[in-house]
Amino acid sequence: MEVSLESVAAGNGDSDAPVDLIGEAPLFKRAMEQIPQIARSEASVLITGETGTGKELVARVLHQLSPRARRPFVALNCGSFCDSLLEDELFGHERGAFTSATARRDGLIAHAECGTLFLDEVDSLSTKAQIDLLRVLQNKRYRSLGSSVERKANVRILAASNAPVPQLLKSGMFRSDLFHRLCVFHVELPPLRHRKQDIAMLVAHFLHKHAPGVLIRLSEGAQAQLVSRDWPGNVRELENVILRAIHLKKTDTIEVSDLGLHLSSFQVEVAEQGQSEIRSFQDMKQETIASFEKEYLTRLMAEFKGNVSRAAVAARKERRELGKLLRKYHLDPKSFCAPKIQETFRPLQSGSRRLTRLPEFK
């Protein structure tokens, strides 16, 4: 079963609903069951869940199944901007509003006119930014920087946070009045470790997504390792692992070594040599750091499909500095681009929502 909201799409006459929300685990289905009703509302929604659980995908589904579906969906990561930049990004500015404002510019609220504005990592907003957002939610109006004229904010606001709801309020760092404005509806996404029965289905989906028309198998060892892992990065991490394995496999079968989910170098040293033979603290520290950096860079480039500029923004590093690190570990960005693979069997028919081949997890 694909809980990609097929039934929801059918009920709304939308044949183009996304199919990336996949699963049959009870916790996942429970989180999805109220999506149709929530989508039809104009009220705000707070989506919570660990990193990589699919919060933005849920936001996009809510938008696509809403009356605003034909209007823009605009996403903003609140943790990427300081107060002044965030205010400009959201509200825009008039010419002369500040030194470098040589021309008028609309903000994201204007770009999302009649559509949906998705605010990711909303818990990272400063107190001032929370007040600004609260005014928009309360009054549905805002002012661009340097303007005395109020503009109407005709947008539906969806927000997401990695922090659990009780933690948001107990921390004292998030205003309770803003929380209650945002959390008219609440969707909580379960971590992948609590829905391991969905791993086979997700793997099949990612194989089809990144290597369409190609029959790729998984060895029994690879299957066992995928199921046994706790997946701290959740579905996003699983997708990155499968994408990497597609590139690294030597045959049409993905082996354990292709997954790159081996123990850290420190754990390997201890397992093979025993504690009495552990090398110096400094040596082990440097080796562990190098292992972390290479693993992080591999996942980062896989996430952004070799786009160094976007990866640098996400990692909050200068592009040149990121390039040096990639060269240090002999990671070629081009190798992370979507593979051009010759089809070896009949691909999915146009409009089909079913995967032609599913790996059989034993």
Say what the pLDDT of residue 29 is: 93
pLDDT over threshold 90, residue 192: yes
CA proximity to 60, closest of 50, 72, 51: 72
If asked whether residues 59 and 133 sit together in one domain, one would say yes
If asked whether residues 185 and 204 sit together in one domain, one would say no
CA proximity to 114, closest of 74, 58, 145, 164: 74
Name the CA dihedral angle for 27, 12, 121, 114, rounded to a multiple of 10 degrees.
Answer: -160
CA distances, 47 to each of 31, 174, 308 (Å): 10, 15, 29
Helix (H, G, I), strand (E, B) or coil at 241: helix
Dist CA 35 CA 290 (whole Å): 43
Long-range contacts formed by 108-111: CB under 8 A, 24+ apart = 108/74, 108/76, 109/136, 109/142, 109/153, 109/155, 110/144, 110/151, 111/72, 111/74
Q: Report which of residues 147 and 340 the model is more confident about.
A: 147
Helix (H, G, I), strand (E, B) or coil at 286: helix
Structure tokens at 56: 């933005």
Domain count, the chain: 2
Say what the pLDDT of residue 4 is: 40
Helix (H, G, I), strand (E, B) or coil at 347: coil
Dist CA 26 CA 195 (whole Å): 8
If asked whether residues 144 and 217 sit together in one domain, one would say no
If asked whether residues 184 and 290 sit together in one domain, one would say no
> Is beta strand 253-254 parallel, antiparallel or unpaired with respect to 217-218?
parallel
Dist CA 157 CA 25 (whole Å): 28
In-domain check, residue 257: yes
Q: Report which of residues 27 and 352 the model is more confident about.
A: 27
Range of the domain at 232: 196-336
Q: What share of the chain is helix, strand, coil (3-state, %, to 5)?
A: 50, 10, 40
Which whole number is the average pLDDT over 208-226?
90
Indicate the pTM of the whole model.
Answer: 0.68
Instruction: Please report which helix (H) or strand (E) contains residue 202, including its range.
Output: helix 199-210
Task: Please name the residue that has the structure tokens 């692992």.
Answer: 241
Say what the pLDDT of residue 337 is: 65
If asked whether residues 104 and 218 sit together in one domain, one would say no
Dist CA 146 CA 92 (whole Å): 9
If asked whether residues 106 and 218 sit together in one domain, one would say no
If asked whether residues 158 and 202 sit together in one domain, one would say no
If asked whether residues 148 and 168 sit together in one domain, one would say yes
pLDDT over threshold 70, residue 243: yes
In-domain check, residue 346: no
pLDDT over threshold 60, residue 214: yes
User: Among residues 155, 190, 225, which one ends one of the domains?
Assistant: 190
- Over residues 303-332, the pLDDT tens digits come to 887 888 888 888 888 888 888 888 888 888
If asked whether residues 252 and 272 sit together in one domain, one would say yes
101 with 141: CB under 8 angstroms? no
Structure tokens at 247: 């590139």
If asked whether residues 184 and 234 sit together in one domain, one would say no
CATH code at 21?
Answer: 3.40.50.300
Phi, then psi, of 4 in degrees rounded to 5: -100, 20
Instruction: Give the distance from CA 226 to its chain's centroid.
Output: 20
Residues ≥6 apart with Cβ < 8 Å to 207? 214, 216, 242, 246, 359
Dist CA 120 CA 17 (whole Å): 22
Say what the pLDDT of residue 289 is: 83
Q: Report which of residues 231 and 173 the model is more confident about.
A: 231
If asked whether residues 29 and 175 sit together in one domain, one would say yes
Lowest mean pLDDT across 22-31, 64-73, 258-267, 302-311: 258-267
